[in-house]
């Protein structure tokens, strides 16, 4: 069965799940503006909390153990950025389109399909510990809602990639720069050593 159209159009099999949420039939632009506003407010709150934590000598810690994914030096920044973008594209294809569509075709239930996909998405991050599983399951459900409300798969790919770039690239860079200015070693996420060659894969 040729379902290439599902890459650009919300499949009709998802109609029952979409009906449970507000719809942006005029396109995702209004939703994007809302997301930008929400991200700005959320970023401000996170920045304030991080500043308070730094004053008290506590670095902000991510939910879940993502230490193995963080770049250890500047040479690995590019790898972390590529990983973030690849994850945003491939994971959204798998868990917001392919798996839900296949499950909906087999079971006839889009709600069950997306629930199962979100749970599997969280379980896939078991290496991050239970906090990471809970956090990524919530992220998966949020991405599902964005996809269903806008019908724009590219948008959830973009949001996913930006989320990963923030955690795996931007925050380590900021942490490293702050630690360099203050003359102390960053705690979490780990700082990026200048000029240190990358460790061989292992």
For residue 99, pLDDT beyond 70: yes
Q: How far apart (Å, rounded) are the C-alpha atoms in residues 169 and 55?
A: 23
Q: Could you read off the pLDDT of 158-191 as tens digits, one per residue?
A: 989 988 888 888 877 877 666 556 555 544 444 4
Main-chain phi, psi angles of 25, to 5 degrees? -70, -25
Nearest to 29 by CA among 202, 178, 151: 151
Q: pLDDT tens digits for 115-126?
A: 999 999 999 999
Q: What is the pLDDT of residue 104?
A: 96
Average pLDDT taken over every residue of the chain: 77
Q: Is this structure's pTM higher than 0.85?
A: no
**Cβ neighbour number for residue 174 with a 10 Å cutoff:** 14
**More confident call, 171 vs 149:** 149
pLDDT band with cut points at 50, 70 and 90 for residue 30: low
Angle at 38 between CA 53 and CA 55, to 5 degrees: 10
- Residue whose C-alpha is closest to residue 146's, from 137, 154, 156: 156
For residues 107 and 30, the model is more confident at 107
């Amino acid at each position: 069965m040729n379902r290439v159209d599902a890459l650009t159009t919300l499949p009709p099999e998802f109609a029952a799940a979409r009906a449970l949420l507000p719809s942006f039939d005029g396109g995702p632009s209004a939703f994007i503006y809302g997301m930008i506003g929400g991200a700005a407010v959320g970023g401000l709150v996170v920045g304030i909390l991080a500043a308070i934590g730094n004053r008290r000598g506590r670095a902000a810690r991510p939910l879940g153990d993502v230490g193995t994914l963080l770049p250890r030096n500047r040479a690995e920044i590019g790898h972390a950025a590529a990983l973030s973008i690849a994850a945003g594209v491939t994971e959204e294809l798998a868990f917001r389109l392919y798996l839900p569509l296949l499950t909906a075709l087999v079971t006839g239930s889009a709600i069950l399909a997306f629930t199962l996909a979100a749970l599997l998405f969280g379980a896939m991050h078991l290496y991050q510990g239970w906090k990471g599983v809970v956090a990524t399951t919530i992220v998966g459900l949020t991405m599902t809602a964005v996809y269903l409300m806008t019908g724009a798969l590219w948008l959830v790919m973009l949001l996913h990639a930006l989320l990963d770039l923030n955690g795996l690239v931007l925050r380590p860079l900021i942490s490293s720069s702050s630690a360099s200015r203050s003359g102390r070693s960053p705690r979490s996420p780990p700082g990026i050593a200048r000029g240190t060659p990358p460790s061989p894969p292992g």
